[in-house]
Amino acid sequence: MTTVRDLFPSKYICADDLHGQDRILTIAAVVKELMYDRKERQEVLKPVVYFAKAKKGLVLNITTARIIEKLHGKIVDDWKDKRLILYPTEELSYGEMKDVVRVRPYLPKPAPSQELALNQAEEPAPSILSGV
């Protein structure tokens, strides 16, 4: 059965991709990508975290980046091979409730075998860029 999300696929992880559950993923790379920013009303470079065994990346906002910083340190290059817990939730954004993906502010305890392969990656994630 086709869903609205199927009609408008995204290259970035969205709440629907998590199927209502927490997911443990391992960081493969952090890169900056050009994308449209609604607040700035122009294209800007934004940091995106890519994960092992996942084709989609997670676009970072400052809050999410600071959570990862508290978990894994200030040096972004050191985040590679570190694990995170992503979870779906709802949040008020631009005056309406939206489904969003957030990072739990604590480290995962389950074994790496419990990681979710979000649309299994066919090729390695982009390399890590300094200064994200």
Q: Low-confidence residues of the chain, pLDDT below 70?
A: 110-132
The residue with tokens 């005056």 is: 95
pTM: 0.78
How many Cα atoms are found within 13 Å in the side-chain-facing hemisphere of 30?
A: 22
pLDDT of residue 53: 92
Question: Please, what's the largest Cα pairwise distance for the chain?
Answer: 44
The residue among 118, 129, 49, 56 whose CA lies nearest residue 84 is 49
**Distance (Å, whole) CA 30 – CA 105:** 19
